[in-house]
Amino acid sequence: MSYTKLLLSIVLVFLSFMLTDCLIHGNILMSSYNETASLWRSQNDMKLGLIQLVNFLISITICLSYVYFVTDKTLKNTLLYVFTIGFVMGISSGYITYATMPITNFIALTWFFGIITQKLIAGLILYFFYKKTV
């Protein structure tokens, strides 16, 4: 295993999470967040460093588990692997929160599909780095 390849894939997956978070939360959901402002911390009170730390730890976990546990690194297997992770994370983030907090279905649905999309992008990055060469 190349540690340089692993580190680069972790950084790129993390950056893809940051960029898609900006798109999802800063653009797509911003008006919904404003409509439900009483549910959220103010911008000044948000723990952005903690959010980034968690995203970085998720990036490390996804990349390491992919490298060590996905033995046949085909595009199909890679996308199935990250889709499964995205589905589990998305359903819990979106719909367990929807069940326990008064967020809108649009927020829950966007979190669900947004997280799946993030993980599929991560999968494409991983596939690019680790695909089989003939």
Q: What's residue 20's pLDDT?
A: 98
Is 48 a residue whose pLDDT tops 90?
yes
pTM for the full model?
0.93
Using the CB atoms, write b or e for 24-54: b if 16+ within 10 Å.
Answer: bbeeebeeeeeeeeeeeeeeeeeeeeeeeee
Phi/psi of residue 15, nearest 5 degrees: -65, -35
> CA-CA distance, 106 to 3, in Å (whole number)?
40
Task: Encode pLDDT of 4-23 as tens digits.
Answer: 999 999 999 999 999 999 99
